[in-house]
Structure 1
Amino acid sequence: MNRGTTKAERTRNFIIERTAEIFNKKGYAGTSMSDLTEATGLTKGSIYGNFENKEEVALAVFEYNYQRVFKLVGDEVAKAGSFYDQLMVYGQVYKKVIGVIGNRGGCPILNTSVEADDTNVALQLSAAKAVFSWKKNLIRIIEGGIAAGEFKKDVNAEQMAVSIIALIEGGMMISKVTNDDANMNHVLLTVEALVKEIKLAA
C-alpha cells in the first residue's frame, strides 16, 4: 500500500481496480450500480461518496484500462534500441497484449470508441485523447527514425502512425467478433511489413 496516498485516494483506486474489468466487458450502459457494489463490496453511498456519478467512475476506469495497455507496450519500446526496433514493437508486442487483455474484455480504446460514438461525449473524448496520445508516440518514433537515417526521408509520419493504429484496432475488432486470433496475427504481420517497407537498406 502506498503510504503517500490518502484514504480517499486508496478507496477511489480500489473502486477503479475492482470495476475495471466489468466496465470493459459490459460497457458503460451495460454496467449497473449493483455490478459496482457487488464487485467492490461497498454501498452505493460509499461509491458515490468518491465519485460524482457512474460516468465519472467509467471515465476513471477507462483511463486505468488504457494506461495498462500503454504501459505494456511502452515497457517493450523502452527496451528496444533503434527506432526501427521501437516501431516493430507495435507489430510484435500486441500478441502479448492480446493475451493480457483478452480475458478482460479486449481493447478498452476499441470498446469505448464503439460504445461512446454519438451517445456519450465525455467517454468519446477520452477515447479520442488516448488515440491522439498513441499517434503522437508513433510519430515521435517515426520522425526520430527519419532523422537518424533509419527510415526513408519521404515517409509521411502521421499517415504511417494512423495506419498502424487503424490496423491494430481493426484487427482486434475482427478477432473479437470472429473469436479467431488468427485474424489479428495476419494484421500484425501487415504492420511488420509496413515498418520494413519504410526502413532504409543498411
Structure 2
Amino acid sequence: MTKGENTRKYIIKKSAELFNQRGYAGSSLSDITEVTGIKRGGIYRHFACKDEIALEAYDYAVGIVNEKFTEAVDNQQSAIDKILAIFRVYEQVTEHPPFIGGCPLLNTAIESDDTHPELRKKAQKSLERMLQYIKEILYQGIQNGELKPNLDTDALATFIFSALEGGIMLSKLEGNNRHMQFNIESLSKYLEQFSLQSS
C-alpha cells in the first residue's frame, strides 16, 4: 500500500470515529483536520468534499461492526445462540462499543433521515443487509431442525433487530448497559418458544 493510500485510509478511519460521535452535521472540515492532523490541502488531495469522506467513513464504520458480528456468530452453533451473540457485541455498549460512538447504522439513520439522502441510502442498505443476515440465521435454524418450521422469519428478524437497536439507544442515552442486558435476557426467553429443542 502506498503512502497516499495509507493517508486516505487514515482520514477515513479518523473521520468515521468523529462522525459516529458528533454526527455528520456536527463535524466540520476543521474538525477533520484536527483529528487527523492533516491540513485542508492534504484532505482535498484525497477527497473532493466532506460528503465524499462521510460516505466512505460510514462504510468503514459499518464494516468494523459487521466483522465483530461475524466473529461472534461464527463462534456459536445454534441459531438462538447466534442471535444472542449479535446482541452481546453491544452488551457493554456504554464502555466498550464495537465502534467508538455506538452503532453507526443507528446514528446515521437518525441524523440523515431528512438531511442527507446519500447517507440515508447507505443506512437503508445496511438495514436490509442486517435483516437478511438475521433471517438467514433463523432459516438455517429451521433447516437444522432447531426452530419451528412455521416461524415467520421476516417478522421475527424485524423484532430482533428492533430490540437490538432499541437497547443500544436506551443504554447509550442513559449511560447504563442495563437496557441491553434486559433485552438479551428477555430475547433469550422469548426465542425459546420457537425452539424445537425445548418443545
Report the TM-score when normalising by structure 1.
0.90
Q: Report what 2:7 is aligned to.
A: 11
Instruction: Pick closer, same or farther for the CA change 1:98–1:195 going to 2, 3 Å.
Output: farther
Partner of 2:83: 87
The Cα of 1:16 is off from its aligned counterpart by 1.1
How far did residue 58 of structure 1 move? 1.0
Find out whether 1:24 has 2:20 as its counterpart.
yes
Q: CA RMSD in A?
A: 1.8
* AA at the equivalent of 2:63: Q
**Pair 13,153 (structure 1): closer, same or farther in 2 beyond 3 Å:** same
Return 70-79 or 86-95, whichever deviates more: 86-95
Moved more, 114-123 or 59-68: 59-68
Aligned to 1:136: 132
Aligned length: 198
Greater percentage in helix: 1
User: Would the alpha carbon gap of residues 128 and 138 (structure 1) be closer, same or farther in structure 2, given more than 3 Å must change?
Assistant: same
Please tell me whether the aligned partners of residues 138 and 161 of structure 1 are also in contact (alpha carbons under 8 angstroms). Answer: yes
Structure 2: state its 5+ residue gaps: none
Structure 1 residues not aligned, in runs of 5+: none
2:169 paired residue number = 173
Distance 1:79 1:141, change over 3 A: same
In 2, Cα distance between the equivalents of 1:105 and 1:91? 17
Name the CA distance, whole Å, in 1 between partners of 2:19 and 2:29: 11
The C-alpha deviation readout for 1:34-57, integer Å capped at 9, x for no partner, is 111111111112112211210111
- Separation in structure 2 between the aligned mates of residue 160 and residue 32 of structure 1, nearest angstrom: 40
Higher mean C-alpha deviation, range 183-192 or range 58-67: 183-192
Partner of 2:145: 149
Structure 1 distance, partners of 2:77, 2:33, is 46
Structure 1 residue 136 displacement after superposition: 1.0
Q: Does 1:187 align with 2:177?
A: no
**Offset, 1:172:** 1.1
How far, CA to CA, are the matches of 1:185 and 1:124 in structure 2?
29
Q: CA deviation at 1:92?
A: 3.2
Q: 2:193 aligns with which of 167, 192, 197?
A: 197
Which moved further from structure 2: 108-117 or 84-93? Answer: 84-93
Shift in CA distance, 179/60, structure 1 to aligned 2, threshold 3 Å: same
Q: In the alignment, residue 93 of structure 1 is paired with which amino acid? A: V
| Gap change, CA 1:17 and 1:32, over 3 Å in 2 | same
Alpha-carbon shift at residue 195 of structure 1 (Å): 2.4
Contact 1:72 1:97 in 2 (8 A): no
